[in-house]
Amino acid sequence: MYITKNIYNMEEENFDWTNYFSDNDVQKILSSVNYKDIFFALRELLKEEKHTMNISLFRLIKDLIKDYSISSPDILELGAATGLLTRTLLSVSGGKGVLVDSCEESYKKYLSTGYTGDNIEYIMEDIFELKTDRRFDIVCSFGLIEHFTDKKAVIDVHKEFLKDDGYLIILIPMDSNHSRAFFLLHPELNLGYRELINSTEFRNILTENGLDVLKIVKSRDYSYDFVAAICRKSKQ
């Protein structure tokens, strides 16, 4: 249970409904607010939390792929960071994963997760410089394409390494009031270019760049909203 702060310290039976439904005391109330305290309290409420993220992502992935025959796939994750998306996919469908990221700190964070499975390979490489003849059943990314103004270039990399009958899975932070509040409260996460994209815009971006969107699913119960799509390469 959470009880909101009562500016007048009134008991329930003395609730001032007149002021509640009027604007008479707005300026008076605002002048008494400590905005610094509010800022840090909201940062604490809307913070990244590994356990909650794992649960939310697991639910989303199960919902996203439940209608498709995906069993023990070879997975390539681009801009993988700690490989959370691949590790979640492996927990749902089995298989093997290849993580690609050029950031050494991301690799260190991956090592710090304590993941000991021998079914993941980590490649330190720029995704645009990746050279391999392998093609994968799933090519995926989480929190990648929104950092690029040129969506075609980054989506083309996904398509390049995907089998003709494979699935492409992309997750991004979703444009919502919830997400906007989260990123406003966490300026340390906004050190580079980032677009927040709503689900309609997301579908249009994927379709315009040669993908058939099979399904789109939105997250629940996390500190910000994210949206996921499962796609195939368009045959047109």
190 domain residue, yes or no: yes
Q: Cα(56)–Cα(70) distance, rounded to whole angstroms?
A: 20
Is residue 212 within a helix (H) or strand (E), and if so which, with residue range? Answer: strand 211-218
Same domain, 54 and 41: no
SS3 91: helix
Please state the domain count of the chain. Answer: 2
Q: Cα(146)–Cα(156) distance, rounded to whole angstroms?
A: 14
Same domain, 111 and 200: yes
pTM: 0.89
Q: pLDDT tens digits for 81-92?
A: 999 999 999 999
The closest alpha carbon to 231, from 145, 166, 156, belongs to 166
Domain residues for the domain of 30 are 12-45
Please check whether residue 96 is in contact with residue 124, taking contact to mean a CB–CB distance below 8 angstroms.
no
Same domain, 22 and 69: no
Same domain, 107 and 126: yes
| Residues written for the chain | 236
Higher-confidence residue of 119 and 10: namely 119
Q: pLDDT tens digits for 217-233?
A: 999 889 999 999 999 99
Same domain, 19 and 94: no
Q: What angle do CA 132, 136, 142 make, to 5 degrees?
A: 100
